[in-house]
């Protein structure tokens, strides 16, 4: 990777003055390795705890440290020891000569695996994500770094990111779009040959738009971020990269043309020749048209060019929900592609045919037709996707699967609570980080953790969540004008001894955030049970254009504030990666109840599981591959499907209530003479041992390398020899 990017020059915009003795903090701050290393975050927090609590962004922190403050820190033995230890770990990681990829594919001679995605969830301080797709993309990048892949990611840099959420006293969701100062973020401008900020030109319909290029360092790999908010552009084009998932359809297609076609041009400007092109969801599928342009200008015929770019293109589809498969009116697509076709002498109808489906231009269809390997993100999703798209099978290939499956995972070190990580270090040894996909290692090691210590660590993480939630609710109530007495009463909100269920995700209606309320009286009896009470913590956003989703939020918030279940139901506003981390690390149970089979995979339950929280889920997505008959969690609805949504909801809610009443709550509250819930802890250990190794991006990214990237690179002409891949224990 160093060879591939040795010419990638960048320079910080921020004015950061550091003493020579701690000069390495600058490189550390500009590498998001710190985002999954708790020791690095503790180091930054030690510099100034109050500022770190505000920013949680090392670049912003270092900008705001007064020079005289360093004098005290340089004499602080604890700080200097921490600094030396963290920098030693960082340098060892960055300079490692041997990685999984180098061991298994020492003679790979192809170009990098290039990964395009419209969003990346790396850390809450970098607002280039909205939810699950972005977090998955971020975790994918982190594991690509850990495994030492030759890997480059490409995305957009949004001036206002995704919206910030505030909930009004009546439960209405309000949307705010901050304007971010890129010079205070952990990103750097990429420099061109002239030593100035690199710009590339991207034709957009009848005009040309200038695109600036930034880089986010993610351990050993990099993410190239494209930005149109430059003075070189007409004011009408500067907001193209303003908001993630902008509602306006024409602005949306402009974004996706910039991402796809602009991303290809950026790679060309940097002299990067990919060995494999990975389209993560259809939003980036226009990259295929820019690749077509190059071949057509070289004299290739249209059909031959399409086949050629498909050879080393990989496509991942993430949803069976129609709204998640991006499509545009044909007239709008013509507006932006007619000049493209005129330049190349291509018939516009021939180009449109690549993505045409039911009278619309569908980017999922385009990506399928421009790739030679396609996959869904769980085994069930692979089946569903083949049912949806099998009619797109190339002529003569009516048999076999059009779409394969690679089940999602999580970057374990990002989502594991530091207390739990310390416990793993103690009883599994630090070697657990190098054995993330070895099921036997986890099966043998987790039972060695003493019940009392596991329970105590879980309780500490739960108490941290409750303190965090109280702070969030207090701030919200203060904004609503609550009285001092009401604000003081927040200290009694949420009881660490009560069974706590977490539900946090995008508030799309198919995810059924309101299924719990199907029988309100029965829910009330469960939550207010005198011996076995239950409390539920909700969080999530609904897209500004999703009125039904916003209505779900309003209803749940109203119940949490104005019904007799106040205190038993809590809604946390402004769901982001920090809220997500706190919740998955602190709840007792993770609830997921989408309408099967609409959840392609889901990953939030994996994050809770590695922290010891059993899943309580519909048999959908990844959970179909993980559930172990009540040993490591519980399955709602037994996988039964009904044509009538009302019948489905009735069946699933009945199953949900029954499991809560007869299995989950009794198991949680059953204690031995020492006050420990022994059977519950057994379930926690089963959850950790069975789910952590199978649902890690360490496994997922290896699957992509073996099944998708290397075969695609070979089809594209990359030369390689390899040793046999390391065995994966399943």
Q: Using N-to-C axis directions, what is the helix angle for 38-47 and 77-94, rounded to 10°?
A: 140
User: In 540-628, at which residue ranges do the beta strands (DSSP E only) sit?
Assistant: 569-572, 589-592, 615-618
Q: Is 589 a residue whose pLDDT tops 80?
A: yes
Cα torsion at 712, 715, 716, 717 (round to 10°)? 130
Q: What would the pLDDT profile of 89-102 be if each residue is shown by its tens digit?
A: 999 999 999 999 99
Confidence class for position 724, pLDDT limits 50, 70, 90: very low
pLDDT at 442: 98
Q: Is 104 left (phi over 0), alpha (psi -120 to 50) or beta?
A: alpha
Max distance between CA atoms of the chain, in angstroms, equals 81
pLDDT at 723: 46
pLDDT at 3: 46
Q: Classify 410 as helix, strand or coil.
A: strand
Q: Classify 102 as helix, strand or coil.
A: helix
Confidence class for position 394, pLDDT limits 50, 70, 90: confident
Q: Is 399 a residue whose pLDDT tops 70?
A: no
Query: What is each CA distance from 104 to 115, 533, 580, 727, in whole angstroms?
Result: 21, 52, 35, 11
Distance CA 318, CA 304 (A): 29
In the structure encoding, which two tokens stand for residue 560, read together?
Answer: 């949490």
Radius of gyration of the chain (CA): 25
pLDDT at 456: 98
Average pLDDT of the chain, as a whole number: 94
pLDDT at 630: 86
Q: Is 133 a residue whose pLDDT tops 90?
A: yes
End-to-end CA distance of the chain: 30
Q: What would the pLDDT profile of 482-500 be if each residue is shown by its tens digit?
A: 999 999 999 999 999 999 9
Q: Is 410 a residue whose pLDDT tops 80?
A: yes
Cα torsion at 709, 369, 286, 109 (round to 10°)? 20
Instruction: Compare 337 and 394 and report the one with higher pLDDT.
Output: 337
Distance CA 246, CA 566 (A): 35
Q: Is 1 a residue whose pLDDT tops 60?
A: no
Q: Is 4 a residue whose pLDDT tops 80?
A: no
Distance CA 589, CA 418 (A): 19
- Percentage, residues of the chain above pLDDT 90: 92
Q: What is the DSSP string of 251-294?
A: HHHHHHHIIIIIHHHHHHHTT---SEEEEESGGGTTHHHHHHHH
Distance CA 29, CA 67 (A): 17
Cα torsion at 33, 37, 40, 41 (round to 10°)? 110
pLDDT at 323: 74
The residue-averaged pLDDT of 399-421 equals: 95
Q: Is 7 a residue whose pLDDT tops 60?
A: no
Confidence class for position 5, pLDDT limits 50, 70, 90: low
The residue-averaged pLDDT of 271-278 equals: 97
The residue-averaged pLDDT of 261-278 equals: 97
Residue 444 CB contacts under 8 Å (≥ 6 apart), including other chains: none
Q: What would the pLDDT profile of 487-543 be if each residue is shown by its tens digit?
A: 999 999 999 999 999 999 999 999 999 999 999 999 999 999 999 999 999 999 999
Confidence class for position 728, pLDDT limits 50, 70, 90: very low
Q: What would the pLDDT profile of 657-706 be if each residue is shown by its tens digit?
A: 999 999 999 999 999 999 999 999 999 999 999 999 999 999 999 999 99
Distance CA 227, CA 155 (A): 9
Listed in sequence order, the DSSP H helices in 674-721 are 678-691, 697-704, 710-715
Q: Is 721 a residue whose pLDDT tops 70?
A: no
pLDDT at 729: 34
pLDDT at 291: 97
CB 530, CB 544: distance < 8 Å: no
Domains of the chain: 2-94 (no CATH), 100-405 (3.40.50.2000), 412-695 (3.40.50.2000)
Q: What would the pLDDT profile of 554-569 be if each residue is shown by its tens digit?
A: 999 999 999 999 999 9
CB 211, CB 199: distance < 8 Å: yes
In degrees, rounded to 5, the angle at the alpha carbon of residue 336 between the alpha carbons of residues 331 and 337 is: 90
Identify which of 568, 558, 544, 563 has the alpha carbon closest to the alpha carbon of residue 171.
558
Confidence class for position 388, pLDDT limits 50, 70, 90: very high
The residue-averaged pLDDT of 360-383 equals: 97
Size of the chain in residues: 730
Q: What would the pLDDT profile of 205-242 be if each residue is shown by its tens digit?
A: 999 999 999 999 999 999 999 999 999 999 999 999 99
Identify which of 625, 135, 628 has the alpha carbon closest to the alpha carbon of residue 411.
135
The residue-averaged pLDDT of 110-132 equals: 96
Q: Is 478 a residue whose pLDDT tops 50?
A: yes
Confidence class for position 398, pLDDT limits 50, 70, 90: low
CB 167, CB 174: distance < 8 Å: yes
């Amino acid at each position: 990777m160093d060879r591939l990017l040795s010419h990638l020059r960048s320079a910080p915009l921020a004015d950061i003055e550091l003493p020579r003795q701690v000069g390495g903090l600058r490189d550390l701050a500009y590498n998001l390795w710190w985002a999954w290393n708790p020791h690095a975050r503790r180091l930054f927090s030690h510099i100034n705890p109050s500022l770190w609590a505000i920013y949680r962004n090392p670049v912003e922190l270092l900008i705001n440290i007064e020079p005289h403050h360093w004098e005290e820190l340089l004499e602080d033995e604890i700080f200097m020891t921490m600094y030396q230890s963290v920098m030693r770990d960082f340098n060892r990681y960055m300079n490692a000569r041997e990685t999984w990829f180098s061991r298994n594919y020492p003679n790979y001679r192809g170009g990098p695996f290039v990964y395009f995605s419209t969003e990346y969830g790396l850390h809450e301080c970098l607002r280039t994500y909205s939810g699950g797709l972005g977090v998955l993309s971020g975790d994918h990048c982190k594991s690509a770094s850990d495994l030492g892949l030759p890997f480059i990611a490409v995305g957009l840099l949004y001036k206002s990111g995704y919206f910030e959420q505030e909930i009004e006293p009546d439960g209405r969701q309000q949307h705010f779009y901050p304007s971010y100062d890129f010079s205070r973020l952990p990103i750097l401008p990429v420099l061109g040959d002239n030593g100035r900020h690199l710009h590339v030109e991207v034709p957009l319909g009848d005009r040309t738009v200038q695109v600036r290029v930034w880089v986010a360092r993610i351990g050993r790999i990099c993410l190239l971020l494209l930005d149109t908010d430059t003075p070189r552009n007409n004011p009408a084009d500067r907001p193209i990269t303003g908001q993630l998932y902008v509602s306006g359809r024409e602005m949306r297609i402009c974004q996706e043309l910039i991402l796809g076609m602009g991303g290809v041009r950026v790679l060309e400007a940097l002299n990067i020749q990919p060995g494999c092109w990975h389209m993560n969801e259809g939003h980036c599928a226009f990259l295929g048209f820019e690749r077509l342009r190059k071949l057509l200008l070289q004299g290739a015929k249209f059909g031959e060019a399409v086949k050629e770019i498909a050879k080393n293109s990989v496509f991942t589809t993430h949803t069976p929900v129609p709204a998640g498969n991006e499509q545009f009116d044909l007239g709008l697509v013509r507006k932006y592609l007619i000049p493209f076709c005129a330049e190349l002498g291509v018939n516009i109808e021939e180009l449109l045919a690549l993505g045409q489906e039911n009278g619309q231009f569908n980017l999922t269809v385009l990506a399928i037709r421009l790739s030679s390997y396609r996959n869904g993100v769980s085994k069930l999703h692979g089946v569903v996707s083949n049912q949806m798209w099998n009619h797109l099978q190339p002529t003569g290939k009516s048999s076999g699967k059009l779409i394969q499956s690679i089940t999602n995972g999580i970057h374990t070190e990002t989502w594991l609570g530091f207390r739990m990580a310390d416990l793993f270090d103690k009883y599994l040894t630090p070697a657990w980080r190098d054995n993330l996909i070895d099921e036997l290692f986890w099966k043998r090691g987790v039972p060695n953790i003493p019940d009392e210590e596991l329970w105590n660590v879980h309780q500490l993480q739960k108490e941290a969540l409750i303190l965090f939630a109280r702070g969030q609710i207090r701030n919200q109530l203060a904004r609503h004008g609550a009285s001092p007495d009401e604000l003081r009463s927040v200290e009694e909100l949420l009881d660490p001894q009560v069974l706590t269920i977490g539900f946090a995700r995008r508030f799309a209606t198919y995810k059924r955030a309101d299924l719990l309320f199907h029988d309100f009286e029965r829910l009330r009896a469960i939550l207010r049970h005198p011996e076995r009470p239950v409390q539920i913590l909700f969080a999530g956003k609904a897209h500004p254009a999703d009125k039904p989703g916003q209505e779900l939020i309003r209803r749940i918030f109203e119940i949490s504030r104005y019904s007799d279940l106040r205190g038993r139901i809590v809604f946390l506003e402004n769901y982001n990666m920090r809220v997500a981390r706190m919740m998955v690390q602190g709840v007792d149970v993770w609830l997921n109840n989408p309408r099967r089979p609409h959840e392609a995979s889901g990953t939030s339950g994996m994050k809770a599981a590695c922290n010891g929280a059993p899943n309580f889920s519909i048999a959908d997505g990844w959970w179909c591959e993980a559930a172990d008959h009540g040993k490591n969690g519980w399955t709602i609805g037994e996988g039964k499907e009904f044509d009538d949504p009302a019948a489905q909801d009735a069946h699933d809610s009945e199953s949900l209530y029954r499991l809560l009443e007869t299995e989950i709550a009794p198991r949680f509250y059953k204690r031995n003479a020492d006050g420990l819930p022994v059977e519950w802890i057994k379930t926690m250990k089963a959850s950790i041992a069975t789910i952590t190794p199978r649902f890690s991006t360490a496994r997922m990214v290896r699957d992509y390398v073996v099944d998708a990237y290397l075969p695609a690179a070979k089809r594209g002409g990359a030369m390689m020899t390899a040793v046999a891949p390391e065995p994966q224990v399943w």
